[in-house]
Amino acid sequence: MSGGDLGMSGGDLSVSGGDLRVCGGDLGMSGGDLGMSGGDLSVSGGDLGMSGGDLSVSGGDLGMSGGDLGMSGGDLGMSGGDLSMSGGDLRGCGVDLGMSGGDLSVSGRDLDMSGEDLRGCGGDLRGCGGDLGMSGGDLSVSGGDLVVSGGDLRVCGGDLGMSGGDLRGCGGDLGVYEGDLGGYGGDLGNFGEDLGGYGRDLGMSGGDLIVSGGDSGMSGGDLRGCGRDLGVSGRDLGMSGGDLIVSGGDSGMSGGDLGMSGGDTGMRGGDLVVSGGDLGMSGGDLGMSGGDLGMSGGDLGISGGDLGMSGGDLVVSGGDLRGCGGDLGMSGGDLGISGGDLGMSGADLVVSGGDLRGCGGDLGMSGGELVVSGGDPKGCERDLRSCGRDLGG
């Protein structure tokens, strides 16, 4: 059809083995289904609207150019073909959108889903220049990538799940509100803007979490990585009221701060490295097993929580290590401070089976104990001071 509208109310429209094209007009269905099998559905210069019915395309593509695709009260299913939007929005209210074996791409505009789920299996979901928003439903991609360039990805009240593919954001924010973010077998990368999780968990298994040039903030939820790395470059990683847990992988911060408030940080079998920024713990514990903690050019501060190291070294170079109201315990590893001070107030410093080394800075204890067992306390160029308690060896 060219230059006119096609509308149907209360009936179904099915096309098998051929294409349906609408140019310069709208295609609207109310109370009925639109089914395509073995052919393409294309709408150019107009809108496609479905109310109370399903839209299914099998073995063909659905293409929208210069118009919007709106679904209300029915489902949209794609099997073996692509869904592409150029210059228009894709909106779903109370409907599911399912993709199997094909790609979903939105260019220049927004994708909004309210109340239901968006699922992709075996294909990619791409947004370029617009936002992808989910409200009250889940966004899941299996076997393909989720890529958002130049826009934001927001999931509110639902979960975002990735299996076997990567999640990449460039130039926009990635936010999950009151839902979980889980990645399995793929990487999560956000470049240029922020990654935020509010009220729930972020879990990565077998993939990397990479944030470059943006902040990563978690409020009230946990961040968990299993088997791979967590890397933040150029900005901050902040956790409030939740835990940061990395198992079998490394956690690296470059040029930004790592801040924990009211939650614990746990590392097992991997290293935690902070370069050019500070690591601050307030009201939570930091525990490391079998890995090293390295600070370069920044401070390590612990307030109201404990820092425990087992089988690894803690090295601070060019910055201070300060503890207030929390203990620092080392088992089977060394504690080294170079070019900065070590100060403990109202807390104990215990090193068992390793050495305590300070070079070019002060080591001060106030109201707590310094215990070194099986190793040597050593100072280079500066003093070791204890105020009010004992130094034991």
pLDDT at 388: 38
Instruction: Tell me if residue 66 falls in helix, strand or coil.
Output: coil
> Within a domain: residue 339?
yes
Token pair in block for residue 61: 């593509």
Nearest CA-CA partner of 131 in 150, 151, 148, 154: 151
| Last residue in a domain, options 145, 169, 191 | 191
Residues 276, 393 within the same domain:
yes
* Domain carrying residue 378: 271-393
Q: What pLDDT sits at residue 279?
A: 82
Q: Residues with Cβ < 8 Å from 241, sequence gap 6 or more? A: 219, 220, 221, 261, 262, 263
Domain total of the chain: 2
Q: Give yes or no: residues 177 and 286 share one domain.
A: no
173 falls within a domain = yes
**Is position 305 within any domain?**
yes
Q: b or e along 149-160 (b: 16 or more beta carbons within 10 Å of the residue's beta carbon)? A: bbbbbbbbbbbb
Residues 6+ apart with CB under 8 A from 209: 183, 187, 188, 189, 202, 216, 223, 225, 228, 229, 230, 231
Sign of CA dihedral 299, 292, 327, 285: positive
Question: Is 318 part of any domain?
Answer: yes
Domain boundary among 155, 171, 191: 191
Has residue 31 been placed in a domain? no
Q: Is residue 137 part of a domain?
A: yes
What one-character DSSP code corresponds to residue 215? -
The tens-digit pLDDT sequence of the chain (393 residues) is 566 677 677 778 888 888 999 888 898 888 889 999 999 999 998 999 988 888 899 989 999 898 888 888 888 888 888 888 888 888 888 778 878 888 887 777 677 777 767 777 777 777 777 777 777 777 777 777 777 777 777 777 777 777 767 676 666 666 565 555 655 555 555 544 445 454 444 555 555 555 555 445 554 555 555 554 555 555 456 565 656 666 666 676 666 677 777 767 777 777 888 888 788 888 778 888 888 888 888 888 888 788 888 988 998 998 888 888 878 888 988 888 888 888 888 878 888 888 888 888 787 878 777 877 776 666 544 344 444 333 344
| Model pTM score | 0.61
Instruction: Tell me the DSSP string of 326-351.
Output: S-EEEESS-EEEESS-EEEESS-EEE
Helix (H, G, I), strand (E, B) or coil at 8: strand
Task: Name, in order, each residue with C-beta under 8 angstroms of 194's C-beta and a sequence gap of 6 or more.
Answer: 173, 174, 175, 214, 215, 216, 217, 235
- Any domain includes 216: no
- DSSP annotation of 177 reads E
Point out the domain boundary residue: 172, 191, 210.
Answer: 191
Same structural domain for residues 176 and 277? no
In a domain, 369, yes or no: yes
